[in-house]
Amino acid sequence: MENVIIYLIIFLIGTLFGSFSTLAVHRIPLHQDITHKRSYCPKCNHKLGFWDMIPILSYIALGGKCRYCKNKIRIRYLMLEILTGTVFLLFAISINIQIYNISKIIYLMVGILYISGLIIIAGIDKENIKVSKPVLVYEITILSAYMIYLYILESINIYRYVIYLLILLALFIINTVNLKKSKKENYTIQIIILCIIQAIFTYGYGFMMTATITLLSIAITCIIRKMLKKEEQFSKKMPIAYYLCFANIITIIFINTIACRR
């Protein structure tokens, strides 16, 4: 019974993060504040009240429409809240969370923050074919803090992580120089940075699985598009980061599940 309550709480926390993610995906590309500015309807710009922002329940109660302008709210907001809640729940189950196990609690917290970043990156990339630099920096900050924790309290060897961080620093410098010259972010460098971040969290074998799932997903998507004769869409860039992020989430849950069964 105790575990059921814990898992329910984690699911609810996930829906809250999902609600925040929809806001972040919309505002970050517009360079708008995501922490202090109150939520508002993107159609009528009316500020939302507390009862308008309860994950899942508000959408259902309002019939998928804005309380003020009556315009339809995109169903993706509801789906992202449910998806994030479900992902958080599966992640907690995969590590067999125990409330009295401090190491698992810390890993759960880091994992939740890390996965939240992946979901935001995926959402922005799907809409804009762009990897958000601030979110990449956020992910690196989370992982750096976790590495320091592991080094101090778990006494792990962090030389591998230091090398990764130095490579990331070099890539950020290259990307900044390229931005000044071309006035445009280099998508390839952004993808490489994202891949290294994922390799840090899931290790080499985990990233290999992530890459495999990503390639299979892209291949299947291309086949389906061709079958549906959507040739015009092939001229558009493929949101690679979108596929990488969800493949990495699947990998994390799968690897944790296997590890807990041993």
Does the pLDDT value for residue 234 go beyond 60? no
pTM above 0.75, yes or no: yes
In angstroms, rounded to a whole number, what is the distance separating the alpha carbons of residues 255 and 205?
Answer: 10
Contacts of 56 (CB under 8 A, 6+ apart): 15, 78, 81, 82, 85
Does the pLDDT value for residue 69 go beyond 80? yes
Say if CB 52 and CB 67 are below 8 A apart. Answer: yes
b/e map 12-33, b = 16+ CB within 10 Å: ebbbbbbbbbbbbbbbbeeeee
What's the DSSP call for residue 29?
A: G
Higher-pLDDT residue of 122, 163: 122
Does the pLDDT value for residue 231 go beyond 60? no
Tokens matching residue 115: 């996965």
Tokens matching residue 209: 């699985």
What are the sequence ranges of the domains in the chain? 1-94, 99-262
State mean pLDDT over 146-156: 82
pLDDT tens figures, 84-142: 999 999 999 999 888 788 888 999 999 999 999 999 999 999 988 999 999 999 999 99
Say if CB 121 and CB 131 are below 8 A apart. Answer: yes
State mean pLDDT over 180-193: 85
In angstroms, rounded to a whole number, what is the distance separating the alpha carbons of residues 77 and 62?
Answer: 13
